[in-house]
Amino acid sequence: MREIVFDTETTGLSPADGHRLVEIGAIELVNRVETGRTFHVYLNPERDMPSEAYAVHGLSDAFLASKRLFHEECEAFLEFIGDSPLVAHNANFDFGFINAELKRCARDAVAMERMVDTLAIARTRHPGAKHSLDALCTRFGIDRSQRVLHGALLDAQLLAQVYVELMGGRQIGLTLVEDEPAGDGRHSGDADVVQLSRPVRPARPHQASEAERERHAAFVGTLKDPLWEVAANKE
């Protein structure tokens, strides 16, 4: 199964207030294993960057002024996500901004049925605990030492690890087969299979040889008062 874990950075909290996307980071998972395929862009929001948002992600007006507009990256983004489920933390926020930008481009919205919200999953699995991305990384022992500021790609990478742990750990759906992996890292067509090319090693002989058994018997004969003889004498 192919899934996309993604995160966004924005100029504010709501597209209804005129706020825009400034960064998208996305990670491809196949059967909850990272394939190495990513999507990452910075976007010119065509507006100023409020100081409150800048304090969160550190993306300045000067830095974003030379970046491409969303409509210039739209096709590449849609091609990357395909029709896969989309995993995000507090996903309504990210979906709201993605769909607002798609509407500006006169493109169809991403269906909410595709949304997988890790915040909702965490609240169900760990009621009463803290559910921020930082808190979940701490819970699962995920290294977040590089997360000084929010960044869409780094946060997506961290969230991918959190998502796997929330869903039961790294062995879910992992099966090794001899076939070559698909060139684009997508689903091979066989359910719950990650294709890895790996040579099959012949079974190793584990039965002791006659010489090894003789050496072992000689060694045992040098032991003084072995436990098994002490126990036998007590009986």
Catalytically active residues, by annotation: 150
Beta bridge partners of 85: none
Rounded CA gap, 5 and 154, in Å? 11
Contact predicate 207/222, CB 8 Å: no
Residue 59: how many other CB atoms lie within 10 Å: 24
